[in-house]
Structure 1
């Protein structure tokens, strides 16, 4: 209980910077960026780090702790991991801030202030001007990019994939075909989806898949059950390899494997983590017993 209260207290301190957060408008296929699914041995400790980064505590719609940023929601679950994100296919994710130096100094100061183990973000210098890195307690590597034109404190920017050079074009073509990702003019090996980008770099050897690591998988989001149904039908027609078939649940979760074997989750109604008005009519929250859509209400003792 004390840990929960401390998370809520920290969320309140930073909430003013996250009230403007929401998912992006969907593309022509009905999708936008949705979530990053993060696993940590201590998810409360991990949640404090993401809130310190600038996220807000979202509405509790599932068994995960939701941390919201403009363009993305971080879903935190507690579980042992096989390693951090560095060295995996999605090696890191990136956010933009208007003042890099001030942000890095703030995060470094908070790590010192807590003095209670590795609760904070571990700052590291970048390799070029306007760039820095932080790592969460659970091992998620985050690139921080300076954007002086930014009018909000922080915004999601991209997920960075490392792919063997021989498969770079094939992988980008797969994301374009399946999800409608668009090439970014003037940026090599970069695709855009509403809410953020997918950046691809060549790796000398095949990287480890993310499943089981701190950054377990990425996810895209549809607005409603009907738009998700139409989209998943299109995936079937395109020959997508389903890891988990579409299911009738509050989030309508399904997942496919990309050409490298990476899990990509597709859901609906994740805008509800930011604003309950964005939930579709079929939505209900899961209780701790895992009640699913259509189940009768639990009897209260």
Structure 2
């Protein structure tokens, strides 16, 4: 998040229901299925008026959540439908809220809403190049990827590009970043710059891509040459990259029921989700969804 004051943003997002997570140089707020990255940085406008108009979260108990947010002094804007509304956060960031009583967690990721003149063309582009699955929600065309929905709203004129706005870009992870970029380049899609190693988070490689409507996204992958000495297991619902050495260190004692599995997610074979659970581990890669909101010139990884 491009923020005038990171501490103000941290308070807002923790009041919403997120948890602060620090990873090396990165400050993030974690919700199930999404990380919101926070960074002090000037920006040239809020989310409204740019291609990423807002992003949306699910909440399990809508009335309870709204009451809590109002009590915390958050800017709540009721929506036109029951169980729906908006939080207007610091730095003019807009977040849509939907009730979903079937959630297994208090909150969860729902969608990223792009405002474009031609939703059908945008949907087709994301399906063709990013391996999304075409869909429809109410009046909106959608492109569904593991863990989130990219939603397209029709507008009369092009919106401002996301780079430099308070929501600067969105981001995902892929299993093989070199193969992913090669496939895009073969289709005539140019990356904003070459793949590079992260300078802010170890073992990550990153590339930026801007779609024809001005939505910037970053794509990251674990650097397989990087070795770690520990293991972090997370619930598969978060669809994060998960990897480990071939044998766990002695101080890690997994449950007897552990097993290893990995399966492709969606039509893009480069995207995988892994579930790790054995004393002898394989290298498993996955896809993580998150909103990334700082310009690439800051070398945020």
Aligned to 2:109, the other structure's residue is in SS state strand
Is 1:193 aligned to 2:145, yes or no? yes
The residue aligned with 2:288 is: none
Is 1:76 aligned to 2:76, yes or no? no
Deviation at 1:292, TM superposition (A): 12
Q: Distance in 2 between matches of 1:251 and 1:204?
A: 39
Is 1:67 aligned to 2:29, yes or no? yes
Deviation at 1:222, TM superposition (A): 2.0
Q: 1:46 aligns with which of 3, 6, 9?
A: 9
Query: Any unmatched runs of 5+ in structure 2?
Result: 234-241, 246-297
Q: Distance in 2 between matches of 1:108 and 1:54?
A: 13
TM-score normalised to structure 1 length:
0.70
Distance 1:168 1:267, change over 3 A: same
Greater percentage in strand: 2
The residue aligned with 2:212 is: 259
Check conservation: 2:26, 2:300, Cα contact below 8 A: no
Q: Distance in 2 between matches of 1:292 and 1:80?
A: 14
Q: Distance in 2 between matches of 1:82 and 1:291?
A: 19
Is 1:202 aligned to 2:154, yes or no? yes
The residue aligned with 2:101 is: 148
Q: Distance in 1 between matches of 2:6 and 2:300?
A: 24
Distance 1:276 1:236, change over 3 A: farther
Distance 1:292 1:78, change over 3 A: closer
Aligned to 2:120, the other structure's residue is in SS state helix
Deviation at 1:243, TM superposition (A): 0.6
Alignment of 1:84-163 (within 5 A): 84-111=46-73, 121-163=74-116
Aligned to 2:191, the other structure's residue is in SS state strand
Write the deviation string for residues 233-284 of structure 1: whole angstroms up to 9, x where unpaired: 22222221211211133321100111113211111249x9xx8463678xxx
Deviation at 1:150, TM superposition (A): 1.5
The residue aligned with 1:118 is: none
Deviation at 1:186, TM superposition (A): 5.9
Aligned to 2:205, the other structure's residue is in SS state coil
How many residue pairs match? The answer is 231
Aligned to 2:106, the other structure's residue is in SS state coil
TM-score normalised to structure 2 length:
0.70
